């Protein structure tokens, strides 16, 4: 009855709000991770510049060269990782949109089927009424 229907709608509302909250939380985590990676990339670039400056001033140490190479690699790695994560997140957003559009299409198809069924039922009722 109406009580059960009200309960079902209330549960649906609570579940959908929970899903929206989880999606927002995930989006926030993604943004924070992206900001952290950008910071790491900037730190690595800064260290690379500092090592280059020390070498330009005549400090010729093998460890310095190793650190400079490592920081250059780290900056490159962070950049590639950031681009990859951005692509993955963009793909996930596109997949969610595609899922949404499919559900919308199914709803349209369901409405069309219900309308066609009702029209056919109504036509049959009119035929039976005239017999």
pLDDT at 89 over 80: no
Note whether 75 and 48 are within 8 A (CB).
yes
Note whether 54 and 9 are within 8 A (CB).
no
Give the span between the Cα atoms of 15 and 13, in whole angstroms: 6
User: What is the model's pLDDT at position 27?
Assistant: 80
Residues 29-76: tens digit of each pLDDT:
888 888 888 888 888 878 878 877 777 777 777 777 777 788 888 888
Q: Look up the domain containing 64 and give its range.
A: 2-130
User: What is the model's pLDDT at position 31?
Assistant: 83
Note whether 15 and 45 are within 8 A (CB).
no
pLDDT band at 103 (very low <50, low <70, confident <90, very high): confident
Calculate mean pLDDT across residues 6-31: 75
Number of domains in the chain: 1
């Amino acid at each position: 009855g109406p009580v059960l229907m009200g309960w079902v709608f209330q549960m649906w509302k609570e579940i959908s709000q929970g899903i929206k909250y989880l999606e927002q939380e995930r989006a926030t985590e993604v943004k924070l991770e992206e900001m952290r990676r950008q910071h790491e990339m900037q730190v690595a670039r800064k260290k690379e510049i500092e090592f280059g400056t020390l070498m330009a001033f005549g400090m010729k140490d093998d460890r310095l060269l190793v650190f400079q190479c490592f920081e250059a690699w780290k900056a490159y790695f962070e950049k590639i990782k950031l681009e990859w994560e951005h692509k993955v997140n963009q793909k996930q957003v596109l997949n969610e949109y595609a899922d949404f559009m499919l559900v919308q299409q199914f709803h349209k198809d369901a409405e069309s089927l219900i309308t066609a069924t009702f029209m056919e039922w109504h036509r049959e009722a009119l035929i039976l009424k005239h017999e």
